[in-house]
Chain A
Amino acid sequence: MSWLKVVYTIWYRDVLRFLRDRTRIVSSLGQPLFFLVIFGNGLAPAMTAGMGNVDFRSFLFPGIVSMAVLFTAVFSAVSIVWDREFGFLKEVLVAPVPRTAVALGKVAGGSTTAMFQGILLLVLAPLVQVRLAPIQWITLVAMMLLLAATMTSFGILIAARMRSMEGFHMMMNFLLMPMFFLSGAFFPLRGVPLWMEWLAKVDPVTYGVDAFRQVILRGTVPELILRLLTLYPLEINLVLLLAYWLLFLFPAVWMFARQE
């Protein structure tokens, strides 16, 4: 019981902070929106023709949603580097509570806030001529939670041993940005060089973007074309994402619990 209470407490704090901090919500919507508006409109004339006349903005939209989820999730996890020294987490780490519960609470909190952020972007779907039925919404929320949980666990795994913010910038530049760019968020991963194809295959974000794209564009793009723009069947994407989540989650919790 008390174990769950700790998970709940840590989760609740993240959610409460998120809801209270309106400026952060707005400012973290900025970057994905810039990508969507500038890249979307800038590249649309060149790209649309090559994609079976699918509007590039519609194609890009799922990628941008996953971007919002991905970055919010990883940032929320990596904030523990900061929070551990100068924040509330320090107070949590000396409390008589199991560290595993703290780590899981952090995964839950990061996933929930990332999901919120994703929902805020999904609301903008009509702007890029994408229509979402209720069933798509439900599926998407569940999938956003899965991608967010995967990436939060990944972030905690990285941050558990990190002692400085320099390491954080390293990680941003050499891990997170490539993971995002290679995921197929910006362009279809068809006919790309072999090395890129393989890197994309080991990148967990690829499966998130692919899954999002299938569900988001289901009612907008003809099925045949959608199949050309995506890589794997939806189930495969979800199973692999789940596998990645577990692959990150256990070492993340373990590393977090072990830290001094």
Chain B
Amino acid sequence: MNAIEAENLTRRFGDFTAVQDVSFTVAEGEIFAFLGPNGAGKTTTINMLCTLLRPTSGTARVGGYDVRRAPHAVRRNIGLVFQDPSLDDRLTAWQNLWFHAMLYDLPRGEFHRRARYLLDLVELMEHAHREVRTFSGGMKRRLEIARGLLHRPKVLFLDEPTLGLDPQTRRHIWEHIISLRDKEGSTIFFTTHYMDEAENADRIAIIDHGRIVALDTPENLKATIGGDVLLIRTSDDRIAAQRLKEMLHLEARLTGEGLLIEAKRADQLIPTVVNLFQNGQDSALTVYSVNLRRPSLDDVFIKLTGRALRDEEASPIDRMRLSSRLWRGSRR
């Protein structure tokens, strides 16, 4: 049985279509990523799967239950870690877990066992009775992940689980997520706009403007780039691209970083290309740098959407988020 089945999920806000005809399935025990820029519709999709938003059309089944017809059963079977921390800062870690256990109607004994076990796994046991507001960002995230798993959900949803954390903490959090998956066997669905984070997934759906533009394993996605990636910076990238096309029949894309070429055995191509640029007929181009690398998800994303990351307009929620950070920051 599949843990998640989404069929033509669509959500409109007035005239704006946030998510359009999104269909996918996630197998039990799988780690599945939704990768896309801000405003691509990731959170909207997660909110529909978690029954926080009603789909305008389409359906989804989570843990075997229909999100429209049996929202309560869906909620029983999922755990959630939100983009914005939803811990009560004024309470201790243990109290936060206790409130969760109350809401999910966990028996007392079961709560104590699970809470100790999970706090141990995320290395927070010794901080169990400290107020959450004294925790670092990484500790809060770990606590939220432990809390999300307290009631043994079939599916754990993580919305941008490492947003705003430093790289080392991010890696650490992922070690925890993966070890928890191995021990608990839960399915994990997460959204991210960090390419490297998406690599933790078994499969990735790339979402842009509310649509899924690609869905595959990280390896297969990267294999869609034919070979290696060559990044060249010259004194005039536009002319350079033209020459490549005329002389070598190579398609090059102009990006903010420079000229991007996909090619097999790109290492052997470097001398030819440099030679072509520096000994051109009309005028010589200066080559500033040449960079050869294996394709990354970034390259896949750029290839599929024609650009890197796009920023959305600040919604009222974003403004509130910002002021909440400033406000909280100033009180520390």
Contact = CB atoms under 8 A, between A and B. Distances in A.
Contacts of B91: 13, 16-17, 20
Given A164-B319, A164-B320, A88 B53 contact: no
Contacts of A2: 105
Contacts of A175: none
B53 A16 contact: no
Contacts of B95: 16
B85 A86 contact: yes
Interface stretch (B74-82, B212-220, B302-310): B74-82
B271 to A, nearest CB: 56
Nearest to A87: B86
Interface stretch (B21-29, B96-104, B239-247): B96-104
A137 interface: no
Interface stretch (A92-100, A127-135, A188-196, A207-215): A92-100
A223 interface: no
B196 interface: no
B102 A91 contact: no
B321 interface: yes
B178 interface: no
Contacts of B99: 9, 13, 88
A90 B47 CA distance: 12
A235 interface: no
A163 B321 CA distance: 12
A166 B103 CA distance: 31
Nearest to B131: A20
Interface string A9-24: 1000100110011000
B51 interface: yes
User: Which interface class (under 10, 10 to 19, 20 to 34, 35 or more) fits A?
Assistant: 20 to 34
B52 A165 contact: no
B76 to A, nearest CB: 5
A85 B52 contact: no
Given A5-B105, A6-B103, A17-B90, A260 B84 contact: no
A94 B85 contact: no
A6 B99 CA distance: 10
A75 interface: no
A260 B86 contact: no
Given A2-B105, A9-B103, A91 B320 contact: no
Interface in A238-260: 260
A224 B98 CA distance: 55
Nearest to A6: B103
A16 B76 CA distance: 26
B68 interface: no
A177 B288 CA distance: 65
A97 B85 CA distance: 20
B35 interface: no
B253 interface: no
Given A9-B103, A86-B85, A88-B88, A94 B52 contact: yes
B76 A96 contact: yes
Contacts of A21: 90
Interface string B30-58: 00000000000000000000111110000
Nearest to B76: A96
A165 B82 contact: no
A82 interface: yes
Interface in B219-240: none
Contacts of A85: 84, 317, 320-321
Given A94-B50, A96-B72, A163-B317, A86 B103 contact: no
B87 interface: yes
A17 B92 CA distance: 11
B331 to A, nearest CB: 10
Contact of B321 (A9, A86, A90, A97): A86
B316 A164 contact: yes
Interface in A1-57: 2, 5-6, 9, 13, 16-17, 20-21
B323 interface: yes
B291 interface: no
A12 to B, nearest CB: 8
A260 B320 contact: no
Interface string A143-154: 000000000000
A90 B84 contact: yes
Interface string B144-175: 00010000000000000000000000000000
B69 to A, nearest CB: 15
B324 interface: yes
Nearest to B78: A94
Residue from the set A9, A16, A88, A97 with the largest chain B CB neighbour count within 10 Å: A88
Nearest to A18: B90
A94 B51 contact: yes
Contacts of A163: 316-317
Interface of A: 2, 5-6, 9, 13, 16-17, 20-21, 82, 85-97, 163-166, 260
9 contacts: A5-B102, A6-B103, A13-B88, A16-B91, A17-B88, A17-B90, A88-B88, A91-B147, A95-B104
Which 5 residue pairs are nearest across A and B when measured between Cβ atoms? A96-B75, A95-B103, A164-B316, A90-B86, A88-B88
Interface of B: 50-54, 72-73, 75-76, 78, 80, 82, 84-88, 90-91, 95-96, 99-100, 102-105, 147, 316-317, 319-321, 323-324
